[in-house]
Structure 1
């Protein structure tokens, strides 16, 4: 089994050959400095294998998923600790894998990756082709078409990214960060879609419905955590209003006021100004990120031993992030959410939130 995974992984890397390379820096880009590029030196990717032991050595995957899981227990299936801080990116692999066998039946495949050139769709394509090679069904995964896709950047090169490479300025206030798994079943999804429906969006997707509900609930929890009276936390708009002075207001008066207003509005929405404003006010205006993989069809990945029983995230320390994933059962969505401790406590006390979101760590 492990040898099949290793040999098919090597085949897959020939199609996704940049992933076997290493990051390097080439050229100067004025204020941005050196530009990161991939050195396709064919150094390969780490692949490790193991067999479970300890208190779960006598259970199958299905039995393991029927237990009440502790988030920390998922770490043992990863090739590296989650959110490992890497000092030298030039020597770091782009992606790494760990295959863990359950003696009583089943297999877990853990993946760690650098989020430099690998995004969700790229990982999904990689896993689908890898599983096709492993199950001798390479043609059904698109065949040589994957190699052709890598040439797209030569025809449509990416623009210079105005967003800073580092994210440390956007992490927010220090303190204990909690992570929870919330399950939205099919009934909850349909109810939230009905609530989110409008003339502008007559048929919202489940990502839109769940994402909007999460945003509303988290903002309410943040407000209650920030002050006992439930006043709203500061937003980018409130920060901007606070900076208005008499000179600015004077320019908005008269026949040229509208033109001045539009000019300032256009300038504000430029990426560099937005990023600078976010960095400048990071200590008082936190970000909340929602990302979804529900449309990637990861449950179609089959290495020849059946479809996945569960695809999930491992623990990560960054606060104010919500990952939406396809539920292993039906049309549902599971959400992995990180929040500062006070806000998570408030969220779990929100009456409306608990109607739709179930904090259930038993997967099956």
Structure 2
């Protein structure tokens, strides 16, 4: 499926950034964030006839509202300055591309497995901190690819920006609740010697492949029943969809690694924790930037009797609770940074020195993934482009909000075993799933 770029331009803020805002400090948590872009693609089906005219109007409205929303999200129209740990809010603009896709959107969405090579052409490759690509299919369907650098914003930041942009496009920028970029004042950057590079994962020895597994509402209900039947410690609030699916996938990884190595192996799991509302340090509402950490737990070979689902759910739950409880003790930004940095380095150290198999989960559940209505309805599908170079797992809500979609990226030889795991086969399906 060919994708041809037909135009390329820079969208600048509709009003110049005031002088006192033209230099935004990064935070100490931004310093810990990796330098990579997070691409998200929203797919919108054909809406009636004369779609060529309508799509031209849609693109113009997207550009206009993007220019308006950048007056509020001014750092994303600037450029990251590594040398002085700041964002130069110089209004250089956001890259905006238009592309023609030679093929049908409906046929593309009905594929039995993701075509990552095609998907990668639906989003821009990258220059500005934020970049957008408007893709028009031959049938008139539209895909909007949005790429944002992780270095100056986390998932909360990204989805707040996208949905505020959609609001501005649909009903006007005056209806948008303005974001805050004051985290750099509350949590200023630290000396480089205090911030070590975070290791995302070990370099793979085999090709990385990605499969999408869907755990629907019924499957998750069955998982919750299985976990609660084996333990009386959980209430319905603790047995979340994310925790039971994470535990099930982790248990399969443990079995896969044992089958490959011929012996039980230590396994470490890390899951993200959004720190907003979880510390005693007050931050402005709608604070943008990186404000996350990791909760870490592990399985050791002598824990074989504790591989039941409810035991792994318990470990995940306890790790998150312990992490949040520790961060609640921080009385200032210095203490909080020390705790977060220490947790990051524990994982990095394990990846460098331990023989443990380390699995990184990223979670977009509960983010408003399907709320991006730019004026022509909510997306038929929202997806992250997932051509990754390390083993990782991304969890998202299904469109109905009842299930969990897991994008599992593993080395090819491990994926073959994972696909044969009896519990993955029993509770999920991936052949029928879309992108």
State the TM-score bracket (shorter-chain normalisation).
Answer: 0.7 to 0.9
Structure 1 residues 141, 357: closer, same or farther in 2, change over 3 A? farther
1:192 to 217, 223, 229: 223
Alignment of 1:157-172 (within 5 A): 157=188, 164-167=196-199, 170-172=201-203
Q: CA deviation at 1:75?
A: 1.8
Query: 1:93, 1:186 → 2: CA distance?
Result: 39
Name the structure 2 match of 1:5.
62
Q: Does the CA contact (< 8 Å) of 1:12 and 1:130 recur in 2?
A: yes
What residue is the counterpart of 1:289 in the other structure?
A: 360
C-alpha distance in 1, partners of 2:376/2:169?
A: 10
2:108 to 64, 84, 105: 64
User: In the aligned structure 2, how far is the partner of 1:139 from the partner of 1:12?
Assistant: 10
Contact between 1:171 and 1:286, CA under 8 Å: does it hold in 2? Answer: no
**Which residue is 1:15 aligned to?**
72
1:45 equivalent in alignment to 2:94: yes
- Higher Cα Rg: structure 1 or 2? 1
How many correspondences in the alignment? 305
Contact 1:185 1:331 in 2 (8 A): yes
- C-alpha contact 2:265 2:356 (8 A) present in aligned 1: no
Q: Is the 8 A contact 1:172 1:286 kept in 2?
A: no
Superposed counterparts of 1:67-86, under 5 Å: 67-69=111-113, 70-80=115-125
Does 1:325 pair with 2:382?
A: no
Contact 2:148 2:158 in 1 (8 A): no
Structure 1 residue corresponding to 2:130, chosen from 86, 92, 95: 95
Q: Deviations over 1:73-98 (max 9, x none)?
A: 21221112xxx8xxxxxxx4212111
Instruction: For residue 231 of structure 1, give the secondary structure of its aligned residue in structure 2.
Output: coil
Where structure 1 has 5 or more consecutive residues not aligned to the other structure, the ranges are: 28-35, 85-91, 240-266
Q: Does 1:336 align with 2:407?
A: yes
Mapped to 2, the partners of 1:153 and 1:210 lie a distance apart of 35
In the TM superposition, what is the alpha-carbon distance from 1:15 to its structure 2 partner? 0.8
What residue is the counterpart of 2:54 in the other structure?
A: none
Report how far residue 275 of structure 1 moved.
5.2
Q: 1:13-47, CA deviations, whole angstroms, 9 ceiling, x for partnerless residues?
A: 111111111121345xxxxxxxx322212211111
Kept after mapping to 1: 8 A contact 2:266/2:299: no
Contact in 1 for aligned 2:168/2:175 (Cα 8 Å): no
1:62–1:139 CA distance, 2 compared to 1 (3 A): farther
SS of equivalent residue, structure 1 residue 14: coil
Alignment partner, residue 88 of structure 1: none
Deviation at 1:184, TM superposition (A): 0.9
Q: Secondary structure at the match of 2:156?
A: helix
Say if 1:20 and 1:341 are closer, same or farther in 2 by CA, change over 3 A: same
Could you list the structure 1 runs, at least 4 aligned residues long, displaced by more than 4 angstroms after superposition: 156-163, 233-239, 269-273
Matching residue of 1:25: 82
- How far, CA to CA, are the matches of 1:234 and 1:325 in structure 2? 23
Return the structure number with greater strand share. 2
Residue 179 of structure 1, CA deviation:
0.7
